[in-house]
Copies of this chain bind each other. A is one copy, B any other.
Amino acid sequence: MLTEQMDRVVVVLVRARNPNNIGAVARAMHDFGFRHLRVVNEYAVPFETARSAVDASEVLAGAEAYISVAEAVADCTLVVGTTAVGERALQHPLHTLADAGEKIGSAAAGGGRVAVLFGSEKTGLSNEELSHCHWLLTIPMADQIGIRHPSMNLGQAVAVCLYEMVRRKDSVVADAVDAAAGAGEVERLTALLGDVLEATGYTRRHPANSDEAQIRRLVLRMDLTASDVPVWMGILRQVLWRVRGG
């Protein structure tokens, strides 16, 4: 999902009670790069408490308060509810999070604003609140209990949903993987290891492990990077030098 699409996604917390949870949701949004948080509550205490916390994020500073779902989603072209499977008789199409992420991405790419609703910690979204939704999403969990199982933390549920949306974006990650060692280097290391086995008496004691092909396979299985070859060469040369009376 591109940044301009992420800016069309609005997280809507409906009747969240715990200020810490509202703060955790805001931080998850910040971490994944989402900016628009709306809080629907008949009374303002949890939101105001969260907003006055010393570590409140920018997302929270810019969050908007509404007193109804209808108002909170009025400018959105797609409204998605989050729910537990089997929590109630579903009157909406239900999608797993992976499918939902794709549909939300398409809607945002098409220029629409998308609201994703999360219900209260205790009761989830009510039927009235769900009635504002085009369809529902559920997070695949153990026993398919869905995201509104009491033990599913609100901040974790939001974090997982946002991760699903951003993970499609091809992210560039530093490639810390070294180039593999060339066969010539492997061969030199094999020869040197053979000398060590000979000089230390290993070959005499374990002839079955010591023929050249065995040693080469042993070295090949090290799956060496080019930069590790000189380290191992140095170690083996030092062993040889010492064994030969240096």
Contacts and interface: CB of A to CB of B under 8 A. Distances in A.
Number of copies: 2
A164 B168 CA distance: 12
Interface residues of A, number: 73
Given A171-B96, A173-B85, A141 B32 contact: yes
B96 A142 contact: no
Contacts of A171: 96, 140, 144
A106 to B, nearest CB: 16
A94 B31 contact: no
A105 B143 CA distance: 20
B235 A31 contact: no
A163 B139 contact: yes
B174 A90 contact: yes
A233 to B, nearest CB: 12
A172 B143 CA distance: 11
A187 interface: no
Interface of A: 24, 27-28, 30-33, 57, 85-86, 90-98, 138-145, 149, 151-153, 155-156, 159-160, 163-164, 166-167, 169, 171-177, 196-197, 199-202, 205-206, 209, 218, 221-225, 228, 231-232, 234-235, 238-239, 241-243, 246
19 contacts: A31-B149, A31-B156, A32-B141, A33-B143, A57-B151, A85-B173, A91-B176, A93-B177, A94-B176, A96-B171, A140-B167, A140-B171, A156-B156, A159-B159, A196-B239, A202-B239, A205-B238, A209-B231, A239-B239
